[in-house]
Amino acid sequence: MDKFVIRGGTPLRGAIRISGAKNSALPCMAAAILTEDEVTLENIPDVRDIETERKLLVSMGAEVELGYGRAHHRTRIRCGSLDPVAKYEIVKTMRASSLVLGPLIARTGTARVAMPGGCAIGGRPIDLHIKALQAMGAEIAQEHGYLEARAKRLHGARIVFDKITVTGTEDLLMAAALADGETCMENCACEPEVLDVAKLLSAMGARIEGAGTATIRVQGVDRLHGAKHRIHPDRIEAGTFLVAAAITGGDLTLTGCNPHHLSSVIEKLREVGVQCELTADTIRVRASGPLRGANISTEEYPGFPTDMQAQFMALATQAEGTSLVTENIFENRFMHVQELVRMGANIRVEGRTAAVVGKSPLSAAAVMASDLRASASLVLAALVAEGETIIDRVYHIDRGYERIEEKLRGVGAKIRRIGNVFRETEEPTAEVTA
């Protein structure tokens, strides 16, 4: 398996272009199920989860052309006739595969979707997706590890999510687009990725109001048509590079990003003592003086994202004073703590809160990536650690970051990839990341 070898101590300087958002691209690819016409998506990130989604759609009979290369990063998807089965072999490697459930029932009236397995960052059930689809008339049973769903045609319903769920909101939005009548969804996720999917669906002919707010109304239509859509920039990739500049005392300009989506992260960085200058689509981040500790508490958007918690914790190890990091979205999302402690961090976890006492000099160690964002925090810590850190299991990071080592090397980081180029047989058997 591939490893990263990182020698710390170089302030990062220069510019990094931000890729398209993985968490928008995944539901947008699933939305292509809703029509037999061609859906074209641009600004698709070249990451492993996208390849997994491609495999999933192809396994159901879709034609998926996925091209990176110069100026492409584009996929063309045509879901002519579909075999509505999402196989366990694919679902187990990516929980977001459950995003096909709603679109499959809505389009074909039936779906057989494997239940996602265990996950390193908490239980992560999909009960809210199931309950809402049942309210729209789907009959859903669980048999032999699969959800067997059936509905002649979904009908509109009033859905109040018990808990805010991002992919749950997206799944139901897609289902409601082709349902009979009006669906009113309350307590919806307001994440920018939900809005991105709604934009694609609207371009396909869906009638949606309120996406990006807590209440979304959808007037179902009989048919959706093909469309072309550009995926918005990845706010978590951008946030990770903001922290990379801050932690190394560097000066980075991120281009092709959306600073509005990062308000809570930028606010925290300023509190820590980092300068951030924004334009409509760039962020320049400069860190020259000492960093001050700050508390974060993860919340749904527009609060501080759980997907930035691990990276912020790495930064807090280099700030003066105590930072309290509280994780409210997922149980069990502190797996990076043990590895950061092995590198010299002073972190104590009590329940949902980690107290990080800084500033601690970090020293290189052999560490293990445990999930996508935890791996990012180890890369960040390694960038300031004394000596050469070796990070094992970087397949986690490859799931959601496009060529992170090349982007970091381009701004001065001493990072290289070693080991075999990833082989299929080495794919982890269970999905263990966000």
Which residues would be at the binding site for ligand UD1 (CB under 6 A)? 23, 26, 96, 122-129, 163, 165-168, 193, 306-307, 329-330, 434
Nearer to ligand UD1, 126 or 379 (CB): 126
CA distances for 88 relative to 63, 252, 354, 382, 423, angstroms: 20, 42, 35, 35, 20
CB 124, min distance to ligand UD1, A: 4
In whole angstroms, the minimum distance from the beta carbon of 91 to ligand UD1 comes to: 13
The encoded tokens of residue 313 equal 């914790």
CA angle 150, 155, 158 (to 5 degrees): 115
At 351, the amino acid letter reads G
For the CA atoms of 349, 234, 68, 66, the dihedral, rounded to the nearest 10 degrees, stands at 90
Query: Which amino acid belongs to residue 142?
Result: Q
Half-sphere exposure of 408 (CA within 13 A, CB side): 30
Residues 6+ positions from 324 with CB-CB distance below 8 Å = 295, 296, 353, 354, 355, 356
Structure tokens at 28: 């947008």
In whole angstroms, the minimum distance from the beta carbon of 25 to ligand UD1 comes to: 9
At closest approach, how far in Å is the CB of 81 from ligand UD1?
A: 27
Tell me whether residue 29 or residue 434 sits nearer to ligand UD1 (CB atom): 434
- Closer residue to ligand UD1 in complex, CB, 130/343: 130
Token pair in block for residue 42 = 């641009």
CB of 373 to ligand UD1, least distance (A): 8
The helix/strand count (H/E) of the chain reads as 14, 25
Helices (H), 218-261: 235-248
Give the nearest distance from C-beta 249 to ligand UD1 in angstroms: 29
Q: Is 204 helix (H, G, I), strand (E, B) or coil?
A: coil
State which residue, 60 or 128, has the beta carbon closest to ligand UD1.
128
Cβ neighbours of residue 264 closer than 8 Å, sequence gap 6 or more: 299, 302, 303, 304, 305
Among 119, 188, 190, 257, which one carries the catalytic annotation? 119
Whether 188 is a known active-site residue: answer: no
Run of H or E residues at 74: strand 74-78
CA atoms of 239 and 265, how far apart (whole Å): 7
The residues assigned a catalytic role are 119
